[in-house]
Each structure stands twice: as C-alpha cells, then as structure tokens.
Amino acid sequence: MGVLVPIAPPEPGLTGPELMARAEALLPELRARAEEIDLERAEAARRRAEGRLRDRSKSAEELAKAQASLRRSMVRIKVAQAQRRRQRSGTPSQYPPSQE
C-alpha cells in the first residue's frame, strides 16, 4: 500500500475541532503512490495553506481547512523527499510499481 491523498472533501457544516478530526481520519485513506507525488505542487500547496493560516480574519472552519491542507502537503513533501532519497541511494521502494 502506498501513501495516499484524501479523496473526500470535508463535510459541510463541521466545526473546527470536528473538521480537524475528520481530516486526521482521512489521512489513512490516501491514494497516490509515493513516486506519483509532484514535489513542486506539494510545496506550492504548503505555501498556500501557510498563507491562509496567517490570515486571522478567516473563520475557525476556514482555518481548520487550511491546517488540514498544510498537514496533507507536509505529508506529501516528506514522502516525496524520502522516495527521491531512496531512488538516489538505490534502495528499492517499499511500494509496488504503479499499475497505470
């Protein structure tokens, strides 16, 4: 099983803590394989989320969504960097090749 990307958006009407709990519950449901993660795109998503978190005029729900986005992007970055280190060192991936 590879590292995955959440496929379901948050449910409308969730409060900040409920939204965070839902976002954390989605992390194990990720679907993109490590070698398919676009590092530059993940870094851009991280920067956008950090920008949204700096905007304190946002609602608690919007801030929770930004925090969840930041966590997802940080996971993608970490996984992509680890995959690249494995490729450079010649260490085989722990993930099977993509079937696509």
Q: Can you give the pTM of this predicted structure?
A: 0.58
Q: Which of 4, 24, 70 is nearest to 62 (CA)?
A: 70
Q: Which of 76, 68, 89 is nearest to 40 (CA)?
A: 76
Per-residue pLDDT tens over the stretch 53-73: 999 898 999 999 999 999 999
Mean pLDDT, range 73-77, rounded to an integer = 92
Please tell me which of 20-24, 83-87, 96-100 the model is most confident about, judged by mean pLDDT. Answer: 83-87
* Residue 19 reports pLDDT greater than 60: yes
Q: Model confidence at 98, in pLDDT bands (50, 70, 90)?
A: very low
CA distances from 73 to 38, 80, 88, 92, 100 (A): 10, 10, 22, 24, 23
